[in-house]
Structure 1
């Protein structure tokens, strides 16, 4: 209701783990007092997926997908899913191509959506020892 929509076209599991619930409508952080993400190990990915499938059957969501799932997690999801993931969104760009994951998704009919497709700007240097994709003379 707050979104003023009858349905969502696509709803993704953003990251393959559950964190401490901070409350609906709150802006609280899921970080613990020590500054580390407070992971809730009692909520399996499978139950989250099945709850998302219920949203599809209720007509509230047209497609559901995964995000930041590697091949092993995506394979697990395919094994327990009644509704196949439509999309897997993960980081991939010229410096981090993830070819085997892309091929796996294509083989199983899962659309790949890249996040940070032009690289991670400042993190390119930190993680890959490269300039931004936009500044790379080979990629220009």
Structure 2
């Protein structure tokens, strides 16, 4: 498995992101969905990553550089690749990218009920925190951060 910088517009990455967006839309109301569009994920200030085996995209993740902190975005693993350490590998690369930028902290927003994701973040050293940036507290969001 290779974790690499990529474009969200690559057909396989875009297909996986659309699956992620559809899942989030099926689980949460529109106001609780905070995923970024493909164009937003391709913008300056975003490092978009894929996990690949050959031409197969197994997962995605991104780092949004907000200057005083980094934000983990678009973490998603293809159903057939779950349980293989894909998300952990992507998260480790996001942390490496954030450290390389000198960011002091990583933060993320995730949805309630996404227990496997919550376990991943806790294992990686993330701790619960309050809302940050433009996020507001709500019944569907959980917030985590990790000091780097």
Q: TM-score range by the shorter chain?
A: 0.3 to 0.5
TM-score by length of 2: 0.34
From the CA coordinates, give the structure whose radius of gyration is larger: 1
* More helix per residue: 2
TM-score by length of 1: 0.35
* More strand per residue: 2
